[in-house]
Amino acid sequence: MEKILKELENLQEEAKLAIGKAKSDVELNDVKAQYLGKKSKYQEVMQLMRGLSVDDKKKLGMAGNDYKMKVEAEVEKKVLELEKQKIKEKLAKETIDVTLPAPKLSKGSIHPLMQVKEEFEDICIEMGYEVEEGPDVEWDKYNFEMLNVPKDHPARDMQDTFYITSETLLRSHTSPVQVRTMLKKKGKPFKIICPGAAYRRDNDDATHSHQFSQIEGLVVGKDITMADLKGTLTTIFTKLFGKEMNIRFRPSFFPFTEPSVEVDVSCYKCGGKGCPLCKHTGWIELLGAGMVHPNVSEMAGYDSKKYTGFAFGVGLERLTMVKYQIDDIREFYTNNLKFMRQF
Ligand code: FA5
């Protein structure tokens, strides 16, 4: 009997050692089967029970239970230990080195057209201008008729227009906002600019697009003259290009202004000496402008004897192309990141 109990004791020692050595759940399960399973040595020893006296049976029964409890407790302990070990390894693997440099996030930027539009707006707001808006889908009446361009007037050919119905169209310029603002201001003086989209049935090329942007300007008040127009544009462009700019007026024609002019600015690159940017003329053409035609102000409810005004309409793409020396208008619309990242 003593021998049997001793064997069980040795087996328990052996099991404890083997459990301690297990390095994974799989290994631990094997060890568990080896020392507690149906085909284990433990079961072999317990089989000896049959040939024993009642007393010895009791002794072996107690010793067997004790063995089972202790070995199971060792296994339990090991399970927790392996669990802890696993968590430790996982944490070690996931450690973040906060001293490492972070990957660079690519930042978005404001589209160059929007940048120049906002600069233009800021300059004008500083000079006391309000910023107005008008709809892209416009009445023929505001886009043409009330700008002194009646139906069938040859001047309509100057802008090839997208008509929606006979009375509505996609505005071909921002000038209808002149009419809308004058109607709103009801005979009172004001200064406004209006940036926005314009649409024409032009063929797309390096300098033309079927949809583009303009900034309209309109000042109505007492004794407004061409000198005010010239002074205002000189100030705006000097600020916008960050250099002293000269302005040149060339006679032109628009039905809604009289006199009408096309406006050139001195080439900001060569200062007027002549260079490839200005095609060696020293000047760059930027916009159309003029004094508000009395027919236009009278139609919109203004007394043209009391108030005069000047108006201008500048192409925003043209302005931006000149400012940043961009040679193809399509760059603005094709979402080419290489191009966009320069701004
Ligand atoms: C006009 O649209 C007049 N409404 C401007 C005006 C306003 C004159 C107030 C007098 C008083 P014009 O058609 O020239 O004028 O166009 C003005 C500017 O818009 C041009 O100088 C050009 O920069 C731009 N523009 C015209 N058509 C296109 C186009 N298809 N693509 C890109 N820009 C264009």
> What are the tens digits of pLDDT across the range 185-220?
999 999 999 999 999 999 999 989 999 999 999 999
The answer to whether the beta carbons of residues 125 and 131 sit under 8 Å apart is: yes
Burial class (CB in 10 A: 0-12, 13-18, 19+), 321: buried
Among protein residues, the one whose CA lies closest to atom 32 of ligand 1: 208
Provide the residue ranges of all domains of the chain, joining segments of one domain with +: 2-93, 112-340
Q: Which of 181, 183, 196 is nearest to 129 (CA)?
A: 181
Among protein residues, the one whose CA lies closest to atom 27 of ligand 1: 208
Among protein residues, the one whose CA lies closest to atom 24 of ligand 1: 315
Task: Tell me the β-bridge partners of 315.
Answer: 214
Share of the chain above pLDDT 90, in %: 80
- Which ligand 1 atom lies nearest to the CA of residue 175? 4
Q: Mean pLDDT across the chain, nearest whole number? A: 94
Tell me, what's the pLDDT at 107?
83
Cα of 147 vs centre of ligand 1, distance in Å, is 15
Tell me, what's the pLDDT at 325?
87
Cα of 295 vs centre of ligand 1, distance in Å, is 21
Tell me, what's the pLDDT at 279?
87
Cα of 342 vs centre of ligand 1, distance in Å, is 27
| Residue 263: CA count within 13 A, CB half-sphere | 27
Cα of 233 vs centre of ligand 1, distance in Å, is 16
Q: Which residues form the pocket of ligand 1, taking CB atoms under 6 Å from any ligand atom?
A: 159, 173, 175, 200, 202, 208-209, 212, 214, 254, 257, 287-290, 311-313, 315, 317-318
Tell me, what's the pLDDT at 271?
84
Q: What DSSP designation does 40 have?
A: S
> What are the tens digits of pLDDT across the range 151-181?
988 878 888 999 999 999 999 999 999 999 9
Q: Which of 233, 261, 318, 331 to mutate to test the pocket of ligand 1 (most atoms within 8 A of CB)?
A: 318
Second CATH level (architecture) for the domain 112-340: 2-Layer Sandwich (3.30)
Residue type present at position 235: T
Among protein residues, the one whose CA lies closest to atom 3 of ligand 1: 313
> What are the tens digits of pLDDT across the range 81-109?
999 999 999 999 998 888 999 888 888 88
Cα of 212 vs centre of ligand 1, distance in Å, is 9
Cα of 109 vs centre of ligand 1, distance in Å, is 27
Q: What average pLDDT score do residues 107-129 get? A: 96
Distance CA 316, CA 331 (A): 14
Terminal Cα distance for the chain, rounded: 94
Q: What would the DSSP string read from start to end of 104-158?
A: PPPPP---HHHHHHHHHHHHHHHTTPEE----SEEEHHHHTGGGT--TT-GGGGG
Q: Which of 254, 261, 333 to mutate to test the pocket of ligand 1 (most atoms within 8 A of CB)?
A: 254
Q: The dihedral of CA 46, 50, 52, 53: what is its sign?
A: positive
- Which ligand 1 atom lies nearest to the CA of residue 289? 10
Angle between helices 2-21 and 54-93 (to 10 degrees): 10
